[in-house]
Amino acid sequence: MIWVIDASVAIRWFLTDEVNPAADDVLHRVIDEPESFAVPELFAFEVFSVLCRLHPHGPRVFHDGVMPLLDGGIFRQPMTAALSTRASAFLEHGLTGYDACYAALARDVGGAWLTFDRKAHTCIAAEGISCYLAEGLPPGW
């Protein structure tokens, strides 16, 4: 199984007020099995933006904490015409353009999108390609 990591998961690795055991479990597994994870390229931009806004040392934390993970073997999907076409179908479910890219990537890799975004998960729960981590780790973790 390939797990698609949402920015909402990564943020919890670096913000004290957002710590969550499920997010920590994801981080440990990313370190041990980076090839089991994927992100759309927008993930890096989203995480950088949030860290710069909410963390007192955001740019340094991103450089020292996030970039080694991204460079360590996680599959990084660039935006392509094909991905945007597949993501467009998820807009009809009520996802934002960003979230639609995560969902489309999860479907493309035959995996599941790990997120703390309840609203997004609820929009596509019937598709079986997302996991709302606030309720725990996915089956088969």
pLDDT tens readout for residues 94-121: 999 999 999 999 999 999 999 999 999 9
Structure-token pair, residue 105? 């990537």
Architecture per CATH, domain 3-135, reads as: 3-Layer(aba) Sandwich (3.40)
Alpha-helix residue ranges (DSSP H) falling in 97-137: 97-108, 118-124
Structural contact between residues 74 and 97, judged by C-beta atoms closer than 8 angstroms:
no
Per-residue pLDDT band for 139 (boundaries 50, 70, 90) equals: confident
Predicted pLDDT of residue 62: 98
What pLDDT shows up at residue 93?
A: 97
Maximum Cα interatomic distance, the chain, rounded to a whole number of Å? 39
Domain ranges of the chain: 3-135
